[in-house]
Amino acid sequence: MDDFYRDYILDHYRNPRNFGHLEAPTVSAEDLNPLCGDRIRVELNVDDRGIVRDIRFSGKGCAISQASASMLTESVLGMPLEEVAKLSKDAVLDNVGIGISPTRMKCAMLGLRVLKSAAIGTLAGWPDEE
C-alpha cells in the first residue's frame, strides 16, 4: 500500500481538481463509502448532445477516495454521458496505478460509483431514450 502514496496521488489529495460545486448542475449524485461513512458528491453539466462539459466533486475522505475522484473528474471531461455510464473499474485503476488492497478498493471506487449512478440515472430519465 505504501507504493500507492506517490507524489502525484498526494498532489491530487491536497489539491483536488474540479473540487467544489456548480451553480446549476444538470445532474448530481451522492453516496457514502459503507466502510467508513465518507461521502462524495458529484455534479455535472451536460450539454444537449450529452457531453460532459463541466464537473465538480465534493466531500471529505481519504487520499485514495479523494485522489481517485479528482483524477476521474479530469478524465471524463468532454466524454459522452453514455460512455461515462459504461466506465469500468479500470478507469480508476489506470489513473491511480496498482497497489490498492481489496478493502481500500471501496475507497478508490467511491467516486466512480457516484459518477456512474449520476450518469445512469440521467440516461434512464431522458424521455428520448428507448
Partner 1 sequence: MLHLTERSALGIRNDFPIFSKPTARGKRLAYLDSAATSQKPLCVIEALDAYYREYNANIHRGVYGIAERATEAFESARARVARFINAEPAELIWTRNATEGINLVAYAWGNANLRRGDVILLTELEHHSNLVPWQLLAQRTQAELRFIPVDERGFLVLDALDRLLDGCKIVALAHVSNVLGTIVPLDAVIPRAHAAGAIVLIDGAQGAPHFPVDVKSLDAEFYAFTAHKMLGPTGVGALYGKRELLESMPPFLSGGDMIRSVEYSHTTFNELPWKFEAGTSNIADAIAFGVAVDYLADLGPGWIRQHERRIMGYALARLGELEARGLHVYGPKDPDATGSVLSFNLADVHAHDVASILDTEGVCIRAGHHCAMPLMHKMGWQATARASFYVYNSEDDVDALIGAIEKAARIFKV
Binding site for partner 1 (CB under 8 A): 1-2, 4-5, 10, 32, 34-38, 60-64, 101-104, 107
User: Between 32 and 87, whose beta carbon lies closer to partner 1?
Assistant: 32
Nearest distance in Å: CB 36, partner 1 = 4
Q: Which residue is listed with cell 468532454? A: 78
User: Between 20 and 102, whose beta carbon lies closer to partner 1?
Assistant: 102
d(CA 25, CA 86): 21
Nearest distance in Å: CB 38, partner 1 = 7
User: Between 88 and 101, whose beta carbon lies closer to partner 1?
Assistant: 101
User: Between 38 and 43, whose beta carbon lies closer to partner 1?
Assistant: 38
CB 31 within 8 A of CB 113: yes
Alpha helices in 1-130 (DSSP H): 7-14, 63-76, 81-85, 90-96, 102-125
d(CA 40, CA 64): 12
Nearest distance in Å: CB 112, partner 1 = 17
d(CA 97, CA 12): 14
Nearest distance in Å: CB 1, partner 1 = 4
Q: Which residues contact 99 (CB under 8 A, 6 or more apart)?
A: 1, 3, 4
